[in-house]
Structure 1
Amino acid sequence: MKNGVMMQYFEWNLPDDGSLWKQLKEDAQHLHDIGVTAVWIPPAYKGCGTEDVGYGTYDLYDLGEFDQKGAVRTKYGTKQELIEMIEALHACDICVYLDAVMNHKAGADHIETCMARLVDPDDRDQPLCEPYEIECWTGFDFPGRGEKYSDFKWHWFHFSGTDYNERDKKTGIYQIVSEGKAWSVGVDNENGNYDYLMFSDIDLDHPDVIADLKHWGIWVTKETKIDGMRLDAIKHMNDKFTKQFLEAVRAECGAGFYAVGEYWIEDIETMEGYLANVEYGIDLFDVCLHYNMHKASKNSCDYDLRTILDNTLVSRHPELAVTFVDNHDSQQGSSLESYIEDWFKPSAYALILLMEKGYPCIFYGDYYGTEGNVSPHKDIIEKLLDVRQRCAHGIQTDYFDHPCTIGFTRQGVEKIPGSGLALLISNGEDGEKQMNVGIQHAGEVWHEITGNRTEEVTIDNEGNGLFFVSGGKAAVWTP
């Protein structure tokens, strides 16, 4: 009855030294020991240069094997180091999920000429001019790789938009104009149509593009033996393509191939609509819960903790929800900055790691730190991971009955001695709450494991205990 935990093993500011794959290989046993069961790794293929985090994708087939964009290695290492790292994780019973960026390409090899028109960034369906000829960076020949693994070469007609006209040195959103070409449907309707995000936008309606991306998905899965993918920027991608892509990979690589998508939106109805469109074939990160926790951390005791799970994916579709506190996009200095304040972060992690529902994901920056700084949360995360494995089992009973103090209990299961827990979270003053942990725990003495409280709680004959929490803290009580 192992409780799965994912770790995002990177942050935005890692050094450009090619060391991450080696570091992760050496860290595999440690991750297993603390209870991590899967690792989400950054894009492992060649970007615009070695400094690229991976989202400026140049060549999906170059995993650090070819001399392209100034080096053989990627920011994180070579292909051989990638393979060895995955083998080490698998030897420790840890799954590996690759970050897959299929929305756009960057760092083209040569300029091409095509017809395009500028569109309104706030409404991409509104042209700002008539189509005219531009010079765009859309030619991808991959001279360092040649035709190894794939002979597909990219040209302007494989894209739906780009961001720069070399002829007049102007930036903007240029919609490429050609017979039968249009922005994709099945994308988010923000800005009219949110097909275009950045760089040269891949046309996911083009049959040759679809065929090569499916080929890549199957190839990279077999080549590296990854267990799943994190799909980047899916709100900007034709949902029909995403569904077909995963079906193709699972048909060749096994129905258990895991996928979680990044649909960054704070609207549960939009998320539910997307899941229906892809026939519930993918998990999603619970961005709605992230923003609830962000607001809780910003508003302190003015936030009603009873609402923290309202309109979240984990409350509507718990089997499809990947819960997280922060990630590389929400961390300080990122484009979607919305990080959870340090005072509330232990409570946020206690919530996602100890509750019955959801697939929790830990952020590298919260565990190891960002920009070379040590994280203040490593110790509490390790304690919570330990409690998750030993104690976070059995029926959950919620006590979301006070605006500043909420909690829940897990009754534990007979086959795991010592299991069961009580969690209290406060965003105001010290609090207490009587909660039931099950009559099977009658007579037991429970202690608080974070160090915030020193009392002992004796469970009465009906399974009740009076549990305590310090103001602005989380308290985790276990047998």
Structure 2
Amino acid sequence: MKKTINIYPKIILLLGGLVLGLTGCSKDDDSTNKTEDIITSQSLKMDLTQLKKENAGVFMQAFYWDVEPKGEWYNQISTKIEEYKAAGVNRIWLPAPGKGASGSFSMGYDPSDYFDVGEFDQHGTIKTRFGSRQELVDLIQKAHANDIEVIADIVIGHNSGGGLQANPFRGGTEVYSLFNESNGNASGKFNRTNDHFHPNDIHNQDDSNLFYAETDLCHDQPYVQDWLWGRDDSVAEFYKKTLGFDGWRFDYVKSFDPKWVKAWNDKIGGFSVGENFDGNQQVLKDWVDASGSPAFDFACFYRLDETLDRAKDLTALGEADNMLRKLDPSKAVTFTANHDTEKDKNPDNRISYGNKLLAYSYILTHDGYPTIFYLDYEAFKGQLNTLIQIHNTLAVGDIEIIEANKDEYIMKRKGNGDNPGLILYMNISKQPKQRIVKTNWINKTLVDYTDNSRATPTTDADGNTTLYAPAGGYAIWSITK
């Protein structure tokens, strides 16, 4: 359905019978941006610093797989703390700090000595891949001075790097289950034997998946519970009270019962999030209910990957209850990439580079707690800073999906109090789009706070107006000052 619309500098709306309920027919928009439109739209924007919402902030995954240079990562992140604060980051997630079996090559997911965070000479190195204990403490203190919490990656499902030991519950087969001062545990704290792994005198395995079965920690053993979180000098207490960590990212929670996450958090406290690597939203909801902890919203991640990359159809974004954030937004930590997805060679397990910003426009305008991936931030810093500011200010109020079709997704945040909220317009077609929508704003001039569109449409007495989205892009609309 075609209709002539003049976009300079305000939109003249010819509504009549074109308004059908909340939306009208969309059409390709072949308008171009003019210099006067750019000047006008920028000068009309509200001062968003005056609209900072309660509990504002985003989560920064401050590492990627195989970070370089070895031994200097803490120092590198330390140089970025002020930048993260200015952007609106309120937490950073660091890799597992303990010494791994692969020494200076370890990304922390082969834990050997939880208490060696870069001070004992073992596995061929004193520093971890990320740095020394003092450099870690310095980074945490700098983050705290800038009102940023620091979250530790916690790998408590399995261990690596111990000495060989015959396991009678495996018919005498030798496995690497001996951890002491001479075998991968130079700190001498939380020494372990085959009694503390599966199988043992309690059971063959717990109710969850075995991961590295020969050295799968048995959390039903009181000794393991005590050293991980129960004792005053436990791993958790050391990380929180001595090193200064503020919370936890629990790695691969499918390998142990969610009640152990609850027990850890009940004893230690702090923010936490679990990595339940599952695209089924109900699996995620069941886990957060059992653990009491938020979880990464893999269901949201896979819906974005599906709609943007595989199906190239945004319709599924409008479906009910197909993400954790739709079932329980208070427990959903949303993301578009992490260290695992970015190194996965399967394109179905990662969002393509060309669609990253579309995915971020979604998670940074919807509910849930959004995560920014280090490499994405470095690649799209300007655009992400804008989206983070929008998230921390305008992304408030109830969510209403206005349109979800093959090419377009339009969502409204209704705002609250003096905060007007926003409208997100995503368009994955190869042509610019425009659509008549019903807003909550009466007789107001609007502007795209991402500057992806320079139009300045005006709503009528019923709140109707025409909004725009660029080809293969997005716009985020709200009222002017």
Q: Deviation of residue 70 (structure 1)? A: 1.4
Q: 1:199 to 1:28 in 2, by over 3 A?
A: farther
Query: Quick check: 1:157 aligned with 2:172?
Result: no
Q: Deviation of residue 24 (structure 1)? A: 1.6
Q: Deviation of residue 144 (structure 1)? A: 9.4
Q: 2:178 aligns with which of 124, 127, 139?
A: 139
Q: 1:106 aligns with which of 141, 157, 160?
A: 160
Q: 1:198 to 1:366 in 2, by over 3 A?
A: farther
Correspondence for 1:173: none
What code does the residue aligned with 1:275 have? V
- Tell me the alpha carbon deviations over residues 421-469 of structure 1, each in whole angstroms, 9 at most, x when there is no partner: 2210122343323334423xx4433222444323221222333331111
1:301 and 1:96 map into 2 onto residues whose CA distance is 37
Q: 1:336 to 1:298 in 2, by over 3 A?
A: closer
Correspondence for 2:436: 434
- Tell me the alpha carbon deviations over residues 383-412 of structure 1, each in whole angstroms, 9 at most, x when there is no partner: 211222342234433213433211122344
Correspondence for 2:302: 291
The 3-state SS of whatever aligns with 1:50 is helix
- The structure where strand makes up a greater share of residues is 1
Q: Deviation of residue 145 (structure 1)? A: 9.5
**Structure with more contact order per residue of length (Cα contacts < 8 Å, sep ≥ 6):** 2
- Tell me the alpha carbon deviations over residues 46-73 of structure 1, each in whole angstroms, 9 at most, x when there is no partner: 1121111110111111111211211211
1:59 and 1:230 map into 2 onto residues whose CA distance is 18
Q: 1:457 to 1:331 in 2, by over 3 A?
A: same
Q: 1:51 to 1:306 in 2, by over 3 A?
A: closer
Show the 5 A alignment for 1:437-452: 437-439=439-441, 442-452=442-452
| Contact 1:446–1:458 (CA under 8 A) maintained in structure 2 | yes
Correspondence for 2:31: none
Q: Deviation of residue 415 (structure 1)? A: 4.4
| Contact 1:329–1:335 (CA under 8 A) maintained in structure 2 | no
Question: Which has more radius of gyration?
Answer: 2
| Contact 1:99–1:230 (CA under 8 A) maintained in structure 2 | yes
Q: Deviation of residue 309 (structure 1)? A: 6.2
Instruction: Provide the identity percentage.
Output: 26
Correspondence for 1:66: 120
| Contact 1:5–1:359 (CA under 8 A) maintained in structure 2 | yes
- Tell me the alpha carbon deviations over residues 99-118 of structure 1, each in whole angstroms, 9 at most, x when there is no partner: 0010111111x21112355x
- The structure where helix makes up a greater share of residues is 2
The 3-state SS of whatever aligns with 1:466 is strand
Query: Quick check: 1:245 aligned with 2:264?
Result: yes
Which TM-score applies when normalising by structure 1? 0.82
Correspondence for 2:463: 463
Runs of 4+ in 1 over 6 A off after TM superposition: 144-147, 334-337
What code does the residue aligned with 1:459 have? T
Correspondence for 2:421: 420
Correspondence for 1:304: 315
| Contact 1:18–1:73 (CA under 8 A) maintained in structure 2 | yes
Q: Relative to structure 2, which stretch is displaced further, 133-142 or 428-437?
A: 428-437
| Contact 1:57–1:105 (CA under 8 A) maintained in structure 2 | yes
2:259 and 2:135 map into 1 onto residues whose CA distance is 34
Correspondence for 2:343: 332
Show the 5 A alignment for 1:177-188: 178-185=200-207, 187=208
| Contact 2:300–2:323 (CA under 8 A) maintained in structure 1 | yes
What code does the residue aligned with 2:134 have? Q
2:261 and 2:390 map into 1 onto residues whose CA distance is 36
Q: 2:226 aligns with which of 208, 211, 226?
A: 211
Correspondence for 1:89: 143
The 3-state SS of whatever aligns with 1:183 is coil
2:308 and 2:213 map into 1 onto residues whose CA distance is 31
2:319 and 2:407 map into 1 onto residues whose CA distance is 11
What code does the residue aligned with 2:279 have? E
Q: 1:408 aligns with which of 411, 416, 427?
A: 411
- Tell me the alpha carbon deviations over residues 82-126 of structure 1, each in whole angstroms, 9 at most, x when there is no partner: 111111111111111110010111111x21112355xxxxxxxxx
Q: Deviation of residue 312 (structure 1)? A: 0.8
Show the 5 A alignment for 1:7-406: 7-48=60-101, 49-108=103-162, 110-115=163-168, 117=170, 132-143=171-182, 151-160=189-198, 176=199, 178-185=200-207, 187=208, 194-197=209-212, 200-214=215-229, 215-250=234-269, 257-278=270-291, 281-307=292-318, 310-333=321-344, 338-355=349-366, 357-368=367-378, 375=379, 377-406=380-409
Q: Relative to structure 2, which stretch is displaced further, 220-229 or 330-339?
A: 330-339
What code does the residue aligned with 1:134 have? T
The 3-state SS of whatever aligns with 2:71 is coil
Let me know the Cα RMSD of the aligned residues. 2.4
The 3-state SS of whatever aligns with 1:77 is coil
| Contact 1:284–1:320 (CA under 8 A) maintained in structure 2 | yes
The gaps in structure 1 that reach 5 residues or longer are 118-131, 161-175, 188-193, 251-256, 369-374
What code does the residue aligned with 2:245 have? I
Q: Deviation of residue 300 (structure 1)? A: 4.9
The 3-state SS of whatever aligns with 2:97 is coil
Q: Deviation of residue 42 (structure 1)? A: 0.7
| Contact 1:305–1:404 (CA under 8 A) maintained in structure 2 | no
